[in-house]
Structure 1
Amino acid sequence: MTSNPSLFAGGGVMGALMRDRDWSTTSLGPREHWPHSLIVLMRVMLSSRQPMFIAWGADRTLVYNDSYAPMLGARHPAALGRPFFETWPEVRDEVGSLMNRVFAGDPVHMDDLQLTLHRNGYPEEAHFAFSYTPVPGEDGSVIGLFCACTETTRQVLTERKAASERQRQQALLQQMPGFVAVLRGREHVFEYVNDAYIAVAGERDYLGRTVPEVFPELRDQGFFELLDRVYATGEAFAARTVPIRFTDGDDRYLDFLYQPVRDETGTVAGIFAGGYEVTEQVRSRAALAESESRYRTLFETIDVGFCIIEMRFDDANEAVDYRITEANPAFERQTGANVIGRWVSEFAPNLERHWLETYGRVALTGEPAHFENWAEVFGRWFDVRALRVSDPAAGRVAVFFTDISERKRMEEELRVLNTKLERQVSERTAERDLLATIVERTDVMVMAADLAYNILAINKANADEFERIYGVRPKVADNMLDLLADQPEHQAQVRAGWGRGLAGEEVTIVEDYGDPERVRPYYEINFRTLRNEHGERIGCYQFVTDVTERLRGQAELALAQEALRQSQKLEAVGQLTGGVAHDFNNLLTIIRSSVDFLRRPDLPEERKGRYLDAVSDTVERAAKLTGQLLAFARRQTLKPEVFDVGQRVRGIADMLDTVTGARVRVMTEVPDDPCFIRADLSQFESALVNMAVNARDAMEGEGTLILRLARGATLPAIRGHAGSRNPFAAMSLTDTGAGIPADQLGRIFEPFFTTKEVGRGTGLGLSQVFGFAKQSGGDVDVRSTLGVGTTFTLYLPEAAAEDRPEGTPRPDEGPAPLGAGQCVLVVEDNVGVGQFATQILEDLGYKTTWAANAEEALDRLGRSGNGFDLVFSDVVMPGMGGVALAKELQRRLPALPVVLASGYSHVLAQEGTHGFELLQKPYSAEQLGRILHQVLGLRSRR
């Protein structure tokens, strides 16, 4: 093969580079040895303006033209004559397999190949369209590859950006709250619609079709003409509440906009159509207008007087005046006066205080009022209903009233007609109740419904809230249950609440309503019966107030208070546990030593009796210690009763002489008038004795102790706790002792804290007083001056007097009567106590069966009781507790008596015994026998 000097002629920059290149240093070898096919392809490549390259030989030696050089970036011109993959190592995986196919004789064409190149020192995305053509040698085998290629990176990225922008725009349109469509061209061809558009117009074949093709039913409704006009003039068109009729045949209403869309030259190329369906709003407004018209007609024609008053308060929030801002015609007929716009202080300066206080309370609290009262200014009796309306800060109250002067006169003169008169009042009251529900301006949510849950009347506040929590807006004549047909769990809750009211139950409930994914507030709901003119029950109505924030604040306050109480109690845990262990170890030492001596066979009867008495006395002391601990923790089970505290104080004072000693003078200052409290009598007396003993020790057995009782006292703020203006009985004990140092005043109610020397007290006496006072709804305060003395004051809420049976015997004395073989089911989870209880009952003459838990007890009793005469159950057990078991038996077997036993139960301490007989642990065999005999005896008498 000979050299050809004109091989690189006309090759531009690459031709010059190739002429200067020493090809003998490459795998191609000297130019004079190049094959004819390579020379031909070289000439074609150098003379072309399209990017081309040749990869020749086993190492794919790279040669290329001027148009290809920019694709190499910084790798040009070093890439000339080098193996292809030394120049492009990063594309070996993608391009290598393609070149292998070509060198195997298979041409390759690709419109878009994406590669990541490092041609400028950093990775960049690149796209190419190319053809790989195999070049055969003289023996027919492929010896090279010829490539004509075009880099399409800019075009691909531009198209991608445009597509991304279109997607972004469509996503924005899709998220728009209203319906959207994009129309193209003079024929108004659908180019895009969002889901909201489909929801309004229905599922149709939109894209690529014209508006008349998609909506043939809109012909002659004017929409096609509007589109033509917007396209022709380039002027937007907007309209509100436009009627439209689709194939479903019902008139619907739209707020919509036709906005011309222009191309880059400013020529109108299409139309943007968007808007909202307002059918429900139009229908709701129409229904509301009809309702308001109906209500206004009723308002103007009813005989019930109605007015809106505006309250005026002083700086202490006491109502001092009000004026009538609005009234119906019946107002003047009922009162005989026209006083609209005037302040009461102007026309009735001596108005009874009752009216101001009642209306002021309604305005401040939002609690409705219903009362009958004489109005001196009008000289008439009125039956009045008042409820707050609008913003509470405005102090506005709606008043419905009826002149009942004639009725009052007839009540005095014709009492024999009382039954008929009550029926008339009931009918008129029901009429006023219905009228109260139609007051649209109140912020209280009001709705009335008939017995089939159909809405008779509803104000805007209730409709807005119903829509907020359920996503559907109610209106008059709608059925509440149908509105919630697709929300069965909410439908059931509404049925349960309204069902009580529609059944005639006038009740107030507090409950949360609504879809949790929307909002679920708490409401206070008052249901009241709705009657027709004949007094027949035709439905009910409700007044609803959102109390979410109030309940949340109460819950947060309760949590904070509980956390504070727990933190305060933790400070006494170390001292409490140490003191309990010390005192109980002392008591157990006496019991254990006595039992050891009782086991001796030679022990004389006299000493045996002494040790038995020691065990019994020690058990009583342990029980008293436990009771004091429970009293401090406010977990004891109290048995409150109403009694005259003054009478009890006089009785205690007579007994205190034996407690305090002869050198302590006890004086009492108790008023003659009775003062009643409701508390546990024995705990009250124990509290007074504990305080008296504490005073005696403070005076070292000599001085004066004064007991004072004050009626109607207010509870002051004590140790950071809020006070109360309610009436309290204040029982104070004042001594003339040494007083209490200021640094100890804050600790004197802690359990086991005492300033006495070892052996002179447990430190639980004042703890019992504190626990009893707090659990009884009161508190205890202390004031002390060093060297002068100390006053303890026990505050307990006053109560109304109650009839109390006198002389009721208490079967606490004498041996317990024996049973007559009655069957007793013992329920006790503690094995030792269960076995011991069954043994005691058998010794007392009863037949026993033992169940280890409440579930087993229910199985043994079955549906009929299986012959058991009584159930004796512990309160605190794993799983179902004793109180829950007793309630379940009360439901299943109401004739089967239940006796509960407990040494401690927070359920009993907080809620009482729930009406069941309770035996306190530790109990004796005599106590158990007496209470079982009493319960079974009462049962037999019934």
Structure 2
Amino acid sequence: MSTEGLPQAAETRDLFEGERRFRLLVEGVVDYAIYMLDPAGRITNWNAGAERINGYRASEIVGQHFSKLYTLEDRDAGKPAKFLETALRQGKFEDEGWRLRKDGSRFMASEVIAPINEGNKLIGFAKIIRDITERRKAQQALIESERQFRMLVSGVTDYALYMLDPKGYVTSWNAGGQNIKGYLPDEIIGQHFSRFYTETDRAAGRPARALAIASEAGRYEEEGWRVRKDGSFFWASVVIDPIRNDDGSLAGFAKITRDISERREAQLALEKVQRQLAEAQKMDALGQLTGGVAHDFNNLLMVVAGHVQTIKKAVANDPKMQRATQAIELAAQRGANLTRQLLSFSRRQRVNPQAIDVGARVEAIRDVLTSGLGKGIRLVFDIAPNAWPITVDTSEFEIALVNLVVNARDALPSGGTVTISATNVHIEEAPLNGDYVALSVTDTGVGIPDDVMSKVFDPFFTTKPVGKGTGLGLSQVHGFVHQAGGTVKVSSALRSGTSITMYLPRATGGVVTEDKKDTPASVVHTGTVLLVEDNPDVATASAELLNQLGYSVRWVPDATTALQELERDGVDVVFSDIVMPGTMDGLGLALAIRQKHPELPVLLATGYSEAARNAPADVPILRKPYQIHELSRALSDLTRLHSHH
């Protein structure tokens, strides 16, 4: 038996066996579609993976053109043919794209096409496809998520969101950073973040400390001043968070900055309004208290002032007793001045506002202002020539100015300069709104400590030694200015001086020129006065003064009895207190008499009353405690007025 062909037969058998196994392997793979095409692109075989992925059984697809597995758009674009051409030209073609299943649904495929040659002859193509739909979805979701996050971060304009490397150099920059801080990305990326801090903060090492705290504590938060590209400042809310790698090493920092300047201004404005409200409530409470005290105090002074006149007359020939009565009289006058200042502070006295020329009025009392200054103190006037006229009570204005100059003098124990200045200002800051004249008294003195500043307008508060001040000077100024419809502000620095500014409303009408009426020194008064006064001691004192002036007096304790008394004849003048018990006060009595007996003159008196502040301007009111010459003038003016009518 010949054995020549045995080795060749064994090789052939092995080759067939290898091919069979390879075919089994290819046909059994289920995760990949592996199939062959002839040179024209028709499918010649089909594996289990192709059936699972594409949905066709081998019997349904073998012999069909492979373009059937592509989308309509790809077929219309001639892509299947182009793919085979590319595979022939380059030796391989790779692509990712949408492919069709038997049921018409699409899947994302990763595809490889390779030409198969036998010798130099093309016998077809090998095609391998994998379904990467899920992987592609995950990738797309990740890409979309990252894109959206990038868009979100880069598009936010209200917050500066940016990254720093571990040393503090800027590595990313969003639109908010550009909007808030003014830098474009290429101007700031690569720069150190410390440039956003003020020079003072940089010198104090705050940027480095912020990163150190963020790294150690896991977070850093603060509010403070930051600097924009143009050098301007803004109030910022800042958060710094460390970013760490998987191994815990520091990768850098995420930094969020917000411009909260407006919020801070609103907060400060609210705090200011709350302080103003608290101050107004304090002043109102003190005002009510001082108003009540002043009323009772003035009645006491009225008793003293009235009876001292009787004593004075009785001891006319005794020099020692004359000196005693003068001392009592002087003390009563000082008491009257104190209550006047109290009532000015509490804005509870009747005022007579009129339009005055600031420069002319200050000039008119120049001598009074200068006389109280003493040696080593220079008084400078700086009144703007175009200063508007103001609407104020003239006498209260003069007292306020004198009080301010005296205070300035007391702040200059070693001499210096006091400047009175006036300028026009327009204010639109609640509660003021409109045109005002800012009248300032400025000294070069010792200044006011911070702990004293909040109390300077309180009645009886003084830093002067006992006997040197009442603590009512600035109280009067405060009351006068606010009753005039303005406000007063104090600015001071220790050892640099103080400036107190009264903002007084601009007058709309013409300036009033003073009409100086000369009242004769001694006027003969005759007739009967009906005295209406509920306090018997005050009534006795008042009756005594009226008697000394030459009147006979009838006394009644209330308004109802007064109206009954007027039904009888013989009353020439009615002189009534305003505050009285009963249903009708003195003001009501005056108006009732004006209706029933219009020819009868009525003079009112008060130590203080709310009603007096609202009384008509043509109702004459005498302030208690009054002296005999003041009573004489008031009655003379009243009778002259009625005789003209």
What is the TM-score when the length of structure 2 is the normalising length?
A: 0.51
Deviations, residues 769-798 of structure 1 (Å, cap 9, x unaligned): 001111111111100111111100011111
**Counterpart-to-counterpart distance in 1, 2:311 and 2:578:** 35
Distance of aligned partners of 1:572 and 1:883 in 2 relative to their CA distance in 1, 3 Å threshold: closer
Q: Kindly indicate whether the alpha-carbon contact (under 8 Å) linking 2:344 and 2:479 is maintained by their aligned counterparts in 1.
A: yes
Distance of aligned partners of 1:591 and 1:690 in 2 relative to their CA distance in 1, 3 Å threshold: same
Deviations, residues 282-301 of structure 1 (Å, cap 9, x unaligned): xxxxxxxxxxxxxxxxxxxx
1:820 paired to 2:526: yes
Q: How does 1:303-322 map to 2 (within 5 A)?
A: none
How far is the alpha carbon of 1:846 from its aligned partner? 2.3
How far is the alpha carbon of 1:804 from its aligned partner? 3.6
The structure 2 residue matched to 1:840, chosen from 513, 535, 545, is 545
Q: Secondary structure at the match of 2:365?
A: helix
The structure 2 residue matched to 1:922, chosen from 618, 625, 632, is 625
How far is the alpha carbon of 1:573 from its aligned partner? 9.5
The residue aligned with 1:738 is 446
How far is the alpha carbon of 1:636 from its aligned partner? 1.5
1:774 paired to 2:478: no
1:934 paired to 2:640: no
The residue aligned with 2:597 is 893
Letter in 2 for 1:660: L
**Counterpart-to-counterpart distance in 2, 1:905 and 1:785:** 40
Letter in 1 for 2:501: T
Q: Secondary structure at the match of 2:588?
A: helix
Q: Kindly indicate whether the alpha-carbon contact (under 8 Å) linking 1:715 and 1:795 is maintained by their aligned counterparts in 2.
A: no
**Counterpart-to-counterpart distance in 2, 1:617 and 1:833:** 19
The structure 1 residue matched to 2:610, chosen from 890, 902, 906, is 906
The residue aligned with 1:660 is 373
The residue aligned with 1:242 is none
The residue aligned with 1:884 is 588
How far is the alpha carbon of 1:608 from its aligned partner? 3.1
Q: Kindly indicate whether the alpha-carbon contact (under 8 Å) linking 1:661 and 1:701 is maintained by their aligned counterparts in 2.
A: no
The residue aligned with 1:755 is 463
How far is the alpha carbon of 1:661 from its aligned partner? 1.2
How far is the alpha carbon of 1:725 from its aligned partner? 2.8
Letter in 1 for 2:349: Q
How far is the alpha carbon of 1:562 from its aligned partner? 8.9
**Counterpart-to-counterpart distance in 2, 1:697 and 1:782:** 16
**Counterpart-to-counterpart distance in 2, 1:629 and 1:926:** 24
Q: How does 1:165-564 map to 2 (within 5 A)?
A: none
Equivalenced residues, count: 365
Distance of aligned partners of 1:653 and 1:898 in 2 relative to their CA distance in 1, 3 Å threshold: same
Unaligned runs of 5+ in 1: 1-559, 717-721
Q: Kindly indicate whether the alpha-carbon contact (under 8 Å) linking 1:664 and 1:705 is maintained by their aligned counterparts in 2.
A: yes
The residue aligned with 2:507 is 799
> Which gives a bigger RCO, structure 1 or 2 (Cα 8 Å, sep 6+)?
2
1:686 paired to 2:399: yes
The residue aligned with 1:617 is 330
**Counterpart-to-counterpart distance in 2, 1:727 and 1:834:** 47
**Counterpart-to-counterpart distance in 2, 1:780 and 1:623:** 25
The residue aligned with 1:872 is 575
Q: Secondary structure at the match of 1:660?
A: coil
How far is the alpha carbon of 1:830 from its aligned partner? 1.1
Q: Kindly indicate whether the alpha-carbon contact (under 8 Å) linking 1:818 and 1:929 is maintained by their aligned counterparts in 2.
A: no
Q: Kindly indicate whether the alpha-carbon contact (under 8 Å) linking 1:572 and 1:751 is maintained by their aligned counterparts in 2.
A: no
Q: Kindly indicate whether the alpha-carbon contact (under 8 Å) linking 2:311 and 2:325 is maintained by their aligned counterparts in 1.
A: no
**Counterpart-to-counterpart distance in 2, 1:648 and 1:868:** 42
The residue aligned with 1:702 is 415
Q: Secondary structure at the match of 1:884?
A: helix
Distance of aligned partners of 1:572 and 1:753 in 2 relative to their CA distance in 1, 3 Å threshold: farther
How far is the alpha carbon of 1:824 from its aligned partner? 2.1
The structure 2 residue matched to 1:726, chosen from 434, 437, 446, is 434
Q: Secondary structure at the match of 1:896?
A: coil
Distance of aligned partners of 1:912 and 1:664 in 2 relative to their CA distance in 1, 3 Å threshold: farther
Deviations, residues 198-233 of structure 1 (Å, cap 9, x unaligned): xxxxxxxxxxxxxxxxxxxxxxxxxxxxxxxxxxxx
Letter in 1 for 2:603: V
Distance of aligned partners of 1:856 and 1:884 in 2 relative to their CA distance in 1, 3 Å threshold: same
Distance of aligned partners of 1:598 and 1:841 in 2 relative to their CA distance in 1, 3 Å threshold: closer
Distance of aligned partners of 1:826 and 1:572 in 2 relative to their CA distance in 1, 3 Å threshold: closer
Q: Kindly indicate whether the alpha-carbon contact (under 8 Å) linking 2:377 and 2:415 is maintained by their aligned counterparts in 1.
A: yes
**Counterpart-to-counterpart distance in 2, 1:596 and 1:841:** 11
**Counterpart-to-counterpart distance in 2, 1:627 and 1:888:** 29
**Counterpart-to-counterpart distance in 2, 1:845 and 1:595:** 14
**Counterpart-to-counterpart distance in 2, 1:597 and 1:826:** 22
Unaligned runs of 5+ in 2: 1-274
1:650 paired to 2:355: no
Deviations, residues 425-477 of structure 1 (Å, cap 9, x unaligned): xxxxxxxxxxxxxxxxxxxxxxxxxxxxxxxxxxxxxxxxxxxxxxxxxxxxx
How far is the alpha carbon of 1:940 from its aligned partner? 1.9
Q: Kindly indicate whether the alpha-carbon contact (under 8 Å) linking 1:827 and 1:872 is maintained by their aligned counterparts in 2.
A: yes
**Counterpart-to-counterpart distance in 2, 1:889 and 1:677:** 36
Distance of aligned partners of 1:877 and 1:810 in 2 relative to their CA distance in 1, 3 Å threshold: farther
Q: Kindly indicate whether the alpha-carbon contact (under 8 Å) linking 2:387 and 2:422 is maintained by their aligned counterparts in 1.
A: no
**Counterpart-to-counterpart distance in 1, 2:543 and 2:317:** 31
**Counterpart-to-counterpart distance in 2, 1:898 and 1:783:** 47
Distance of aligned partners of 1:845 and 1:604 in 2 relative to their CA distance in 1, 3 Å threshold: closer
**Counterpart-to-counterpart distance in 2, 1:595 and 1:927:** 13
Q: Secondary structure at the match of 1:777?
A: coil
Distance of aligned partners of 1:915 and 1:591 in 2 relative to their CA distance in 1, 3 Å threshold: closer
How far is the alpha carbon of 1:600 from its aligned partner? 11
Q: Kindly indicate whether the alpha-carbon contact (under 8 Å) linking 2:287 and 2:345 is maintained by their aligned counterparts in 1.
A: no
How far is the alpha carbon of 1:832 from its aligned partner? 1.8
**Counterpart-to-counterpart distance in 1, 2:557 and 2:375:** 55
Q: Kindly indicate whether the alpha-carbon contact (under 8 Å) linking 2:587 and 2:615 is maintained by their aligned counterparts in 1.
A: no
Specify the structure having the higher radius of gyration (Cα): 2
Percent same amino acid among aligned pairs? Answer: 38
How far is the alpha carbon of 1:867 from its aligned partner? 4.1
1:607 paired to 2:320: yes
**Counterpart-to-counterpart distance in 1, 2:457 and 2:422:** 22
**Counterpart-to-counterpart distance in 1, 2:428 and 2:372:** 29
What is the TM-score when the length of structure 1 is the normalising length?
A: 0.36
How much is the aligned-residue C-alpha RMSD, in angstroms?
Answer: 3.7
Distance of aligned partners of 1:591 and 1:869 in 2 relative to their CA distance in 1, 3 Å threshold: closer
Q: Kindly indicate whether the alpha-carbon contact (under 8 Å) linking 1:598 and 1:611 is maintained by their aligned counterparts in 2.
A: no
The residue aligned with 1:786 is 494
Q: Secondary structure at the match of 1:841?
A: helix
The residue aligned with 1:631 is 344
Q: Secondary structure at the match of 2:517?
A: coil
